[in-house]
Amino acid sequence: MALVEYRVWDRTTRLFHWLNFLCVLGLICIGTVILYAGDLAIPNDGKVALKTLHVWVGYVFLINLAWRLIWGFIGNSYARWSSVLPGGEGYGAALKSSIRELFSREPEPHIGHNPLGRIAVTLLLLALLVQGVSGSILAGTDVYMPPFGSYFAEWVATPDKDPSLVRPYSPETVNEASYAEMREFRSPVIATHLNTYYVLLALILIHVIAVVTMEVRKGGNIISAMFTGRKTLPQHLKPETEIVD
């Protein structure tokens, strides 16, 4: 069977993927240390430093994610939401075929995301969005950083204190009752952030296993394609459009 190279992932999609990988890896590592800060006997100053670093990495993560959301409308055909999200004409039949191919010795390769992969990517993006939104709120409740830090600082500041002087782990700068109200508001947000953290870990594991399995079974340089933008696949496959890198 003749094989040819298909130009699939454009430069922006590849940059998003690897920057997202680095940000998520960093956020998971820092977040895990924060989660077990008590067991690790990390002092309050250390917790503040870790949370501040976590927020700064989160800013990079959110900017990168926002750009990918925009790119889904203006990028090449394989980067657009019509090729990434589940749905569209014939998707149901293609999904059934893709499920059957899981047990086939010779599964049909796909130039872009296969129907099952589109579901997985959508779940990953949703989890990342939930983490980004909930993390932005927690950045304000925990270390009073933008975009909501000033709002929460005004909420908890003592009447005789300038809200800009409110500091994390400094009870003398906050009103006890107001601080308790803010923490009650924060409770479901932190629960969402924590639960989505576990969901994200599971989705990442599934993603890695699926990519490696598809690479072994179908070939096509799936992993290296996220570096080069090109897949090597059978010649009979029809590309959606010519890709401009």
Residue 244 or 87, more confident: 87
Q: Is the pLDDT of residue 66 over 60?
A: yes
Q: Which residue has the tokens 């000033």?
A: 150
Q: Give the Cα separation of 228 and 127 in Å (integer).
A: 27
The greatest distance separating any two alpha carbons of the chain, rounded to the nearest whole angstrom, comes to: 78
CB 226 within 8 A of CB 19: no
Instruction: Give me the helices (H) in 44-114, please.
Output: 44-74, 81-84, 91-101
Of 230, 199, 218, nearest in space to 114 by CA = 218
Find, among 23, 87, 28, 15, the residue nearest to 205 by Cα. Answer: 28
Lookup result for tokens 């590309």 = 239
Contact 40, 102 (CB under 8 A): no
Mean pLDDT over residues 106-135, rounded?
90
Domain boundaries, the chain: 3-86+112-234
User: What residues does 4 pair with on adjacent strands?
Assistant: 233
Other Cβ atoms less than 10 A from the Cβ of 83: the count is: 17
**Confidence at 3, pLDDT banded by 50, 70, 90:** confident
pLDDT at residue 234, as a whole number: 73
Per-residue pLDDT of 150-196, as tens digits, reads 999 999 998 888 999 999 999 999 999 999 999 999 999 999 999 99
CATH number of 3-86+112-234: 1.20.950.20
Provide the mean pLDDT of the chain.
Answer: 90
Are 211 and 222 spatial neighbours (Cβ–Cβ below 8 Å)?
A: yes
Long-range pairs for 206-210: beta carbons < 8 A, 24 or more residues apart? 206/120, 207/120, 207/124, 210/116, 210/117, 210/120
Tokens of 1: 């069977």
- The model's confidence at residue 235, banded by pLDDT at 50, 70 and 90, is low
What mean pLDDT is predicted for residues 90-113? 79
| Cα–Cα distances in angstroms (integers) from residue 18 to residues 72, 145, 222, in the given order | 17, 26, 14
Tens of pLDDT, residue by residue over 70-90, are 999 999 999 999 999 998 888
